[in-house]
Structures are given as structure tokens and as C-alpha cells.
């Protein structure tokens, strides 16, 4: 082989550098010798090595020997050249793959036009079944993987949503309470305004004004005023009137009612029993029989 003799001096250089010592194949060691001087571990040399062979005439000759005759029809070759504008950045996976994809797609489209021009079939018809490059079991796996991927994405999406909702929920709750408070305040305000207007327009005082009291008017309604009255039990809805009228008796058409009234007048009815037994502020503040028993007495009892 003439090549080896020609490249002998370079080979020596390689062995000096020591990188190619263990290699048995002369060709590899030759190629390694090109890259001696570089100290960096870049895959590509920064500058082309000067000793590299580039025999343009030889290449052209070989190409002429190799290539098919010019009049060979395209259908034999099926090759399409696609013009690409700019060099792609190899390290950017996405743009690189996109460049390959667009090249292939353009090629496929051009080929399709050519096939259509020649009236030849192009894609496989759907009822043409034959052995495929990948087996059915493999495609099953691919499908399963795709489905799993989809499911995984959906699940993660759901989780993300739930997390965000939780974050928002607190704010939403606060907003709601604020709104409610505001609503209440507005209502009260409007009622006050309405009352003021009424007073100004001449319906001042009067029983009718008192009748139109609203329950939500700051708790100043009937209940509070009831409590203020002396001698009335808290559950007494008659407001002490029952006791007031107890002696007088009441007119009633019903016989039962008459009897009740009679009994009431005789024994007295001052409201419901259960409410009578509850403590009021008067009874709780009554310490009259608190210190009756001595502490020593109690001890002895125990």
C-alpha cells in the first residue's frame, strides 16, 4: 500500500506524542496524528491541519467513474436536492431537527409532484398490508408509551390546578367576607338615610314610625327594649302584659279558652315555665344565700 509509505513521517510524530501507541491500525493512528498540537478537548480542531490530503482531481475522477450515466431517469435515483439557506446550529437540538424535517418534507412534496406527473403510485393505499419496518408488538409498545405520557401530563396538570386553587381559596374567602360586611353596611346606611328623609318630611315621631322599625337596625329593635323593662323574664314574649292582665280575664269564644283564661286568672300565667327557671342578671348577682355553709363544715361532710 502506497499510502502507508507516504504517511510514514507523520506516523512517527504520532508515536512521539504517545496517544496512538496502543492502536494497532495504521489508518487510525495516521488520522490521530493530525490533531497533535491541540491542547483543548474540543471535538473539532480550531484550525485545519496543514498536512491533510485533499486531492480534488482524484475525487473528481472517482466521481466520474462511480456515477451512473447521465441519461438515467429520476425514478432510478429517487434523489432530491433541497436548497437550504443558512447553516444550522448543531448544538440547538430543536432548530437542527426542524431543519432536517423541513428538508425531508420539501423533498417528499417534490417527489409527490413528480410521481403524480408520471402517474405512478406514491403512498401506500390503506388496504395494502405488508410487512412493516417495525413489528406490531413494537408499535404496541410505542402506543402504550404515548398513552402513558399523555396520562402523566394530564395528571400533573390536574395537580398543578389543584395547588393553584388552594392558593387562591384563602383570598376568595377573605373577599367574600369583606363583601358581605360591605353589603350589610350599605343596607344599614340606606335605611338610616330613608328614616332621616322620613323624619324631615313631617312623619316625625308617631307610633307609625316606631312600627316600621327594622330588625337589623343595630339591634335597637324590640328585643333590646324588652330586656330593658324591669320585672320581665327573658322568654316572656308578651313583654310582661300577660302578668299585667292576669287578674282581669279575657273574653274568648271557645270554651276551652275560657277555662284556660279562668285558670290563668286564678293561678296566674307569666310566660313559659322553662324560661322562668333560667337565670337572669338579677338572680346571678344575688349572693344572699352564697355564704350559708362554713368551709370546715363542708370538709367534715366529705
Partner 1 sequence: MGGKKRKHSEAIKEAEEALLLKQKQETEAPERPPRTLLGWKKQPKTDSSPSTFSGFRNKEKVLVTCSRRISFRYRHLMLNVVSLLPHCKKDNKIESKESKGSTLNELVELKSCSSCLFFECRKGKDLYLWMAKCPSGPSVKFLVNAVHTMEELKLTGNHLKGSRPLLTFSSTFDKDPHWQLLKELIMQIFGTPKDHRKSKPYHDHVFSFTIADDHIWFRNYQISCPNSGAQKLDRGDLEKMTLIEVGPRFCLNPIKIFGGSFGGPTLYENPFYVSPNQIRALEKKKKSGKFAKKVKAKTRRKMHEEANPLEEDEFAGMWKE
Span from 25-33, 155-163, 177-185, 228-236 in contact with partner 1 (CB under 8 A): 25-33
Q: How far apart are CA 164 and CA 109, in angstroms?
A: 46
Q: For partner 1, which is the closer residue by CB, 87 or 172?
A: 87
Q: How far is the CB of 133 from partner 1 (least distance, A)?
A: 5
Q: How far apart are CA 254 and CA 256, in angstroms?
A: 5
Number of residues that bind partner 1 (CB under 8 A): 97
Q: Does 31 bind partner 1 (CB under 8 A)?
A: yes
Q: For partner 1, which is the closer residue by CB, 138 or 180?
A: 138
The interface with partner 1 within residues 146-165 (CB under 8 A) comprises: 146
Residue the block writes with cell 327573658: 234
The interface with partner 1 within residues 89-148 (CB under 8 A) comprises: 90, 96-97, 99-101, 103-109, 111-113, 115-116, 121-128, 130-134, 138-139, 141-142, 145-146
For residue 35, give the nearest of 12, 17, 54 by alpha carbon. 17
Q: Does 13 bind partner 1 (CB under 8 A)?
A: no
Q: How far is the CB of 88 from partner 1 (least distance, A)?
A: 5
For residue 240, give the nearest of 275, 286, 281, 283 by alpha carbon. 275
On the 0-12 / 13-18 / 19+ scale of CB atoms within 10 A, 232 is buried
Q: How far is the CB of 173 from partner 1 (least distance, A)?
A: 45
Residue 297: phi and psi, rounded to 5, are -55, -45
Q: How far apart are CA 236 and CA 242, in angstroms?
A: 9
Q: How far apart are CA 189 and CA 287, in angstroms?
A: 44
Q: For partner 1, which is the closer residue by CB, 33 or 232?
A: 33
Are the C-beta atoms of 107 and 80 separated by less than 8 Å?
yes
Q: Does 290 bind partner 1 (CB under 8 A)?
A: no
Q: Does 284 bind partner 1 (CB under 8 A)?
A: no
Cell representation of residue 69: 450515466
Q: For partner 1, which is the closer residue by CB, 4 or 174?
A: 4
Kindly state the DSSP code that residue 45 receives in the 8-state scheme: -
Q: For partner 1, which is the closer residue by CB, 142 or 168?
A: 142
The interface with partner 1 within residues 184-213 (CB under 8 A) comprises: none
Q: Does 54 bind partner 1 (CB under 8 A)?
A: yes
Q: Does 44 bind partner 1 (CB under 8 A)?
A: yes
CA dihedral 141, 147, 151, 154 (to 10 degrees): 140
Q: How far is the CB of 161 from partner 1 (least distance, A)?
A: 27
The interface with partner 1 within residues 216-275 (CB under 8 A) comprises: none
Q: For partner 1, which is the closer residue by CB, 115 or 269?
A: 115
Cell representation of residue 233: 323574664
Are the C-beta atoms of 234 and 280 separated by less than 8 Å?
yes
The interface with partner 1 within residues 74-93 (CB under 8 A) comprises: 75-84, 87-88, 90
Amino acid at each position: 500500500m502506497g499510502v502507508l509509505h507516504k504517511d510514514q513521517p507523520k506516523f512517527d510524530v504520532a508515536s512521539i506524542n504517545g496517544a496512538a501507541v496502543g492502536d494497532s491500525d495504521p489508518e487510525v493512528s495516521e488520522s490521530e496524528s493530525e490533531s497533535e498540537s491541540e491542547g483543548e478537548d474540543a471535538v473539532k480542531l480550531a484550525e485545519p491541519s496543514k498536512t491533510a490530503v485533499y486531492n480534488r482531481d482524484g475525487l473528481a475522477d472517482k466521481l466520474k467513474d462511480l456515477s451512473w450515466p447521465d441519461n438515467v431517469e429520476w425514478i432510478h435515483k429517487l434523489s432530491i436536492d433541497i436548497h437550504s439557506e443558512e447553516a444550522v446550529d448543531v448544538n440547538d437540538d430543536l432548530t437542527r431537527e426542524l431543519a432536517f424535517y423541513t428538508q425531508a418534507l420539501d423533498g417528499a412534496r417534490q417527489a409527490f409532484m413528480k410521481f403524480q406527473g408520471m402517474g405512478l403510485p406514491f403512498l401506500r393505499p390503506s388496504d395494502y398490508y405488508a410487512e412493516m419496518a417495525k413489528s406490531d408488538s413494537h408499535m404496541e409498545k410505542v402506543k402504550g408509551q404515548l398513552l402513558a405520557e399523555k396520562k402523566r401530563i394530564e395528571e400533573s396538570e390536574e395537580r398543578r390546578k389543584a395547588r393553584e386553587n388552594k392558593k387562591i381559596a384563602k383570598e376568595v374567602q377573605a373577599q367574600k367576607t369583606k363583601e358581605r360586611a360591605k353589603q350589610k353596611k350599605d343596607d344599614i346606611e340606606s335605611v338610616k338615610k330613608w328614616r332621616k328623609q322620613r323624619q324631615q318630611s313631617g312623619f316625625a315621631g308617631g307610633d307609625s314610625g316606631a312600627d316600621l322599625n327594622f330588625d337589623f337596625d343595630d339591634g335597637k329593635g324590640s328585643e333590646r327594649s324588652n330586656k330593658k323593662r324591669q320585672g320581665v323574664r327573658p322568654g316572656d314574649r308578651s313583654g310582661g302584659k300577660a302578668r299585667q292582665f292576669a287578674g282581669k280575664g279575657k273574653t274568648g269564644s271557645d270554651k276551652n279558652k275560657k277555662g284556660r283564661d279562668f285558670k290563668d286568672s286564678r293561678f296566674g300565667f307569666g310566660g313559659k315555665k322553662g324560661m322562668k327557671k333560667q337565670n337572669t342578671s338579677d338572680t346571678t348577682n344575688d349572693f344572699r344565700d352564697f355564704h350559708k355553709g362554713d368551709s370546715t363544715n363542708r370538709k367534715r361532710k366529705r
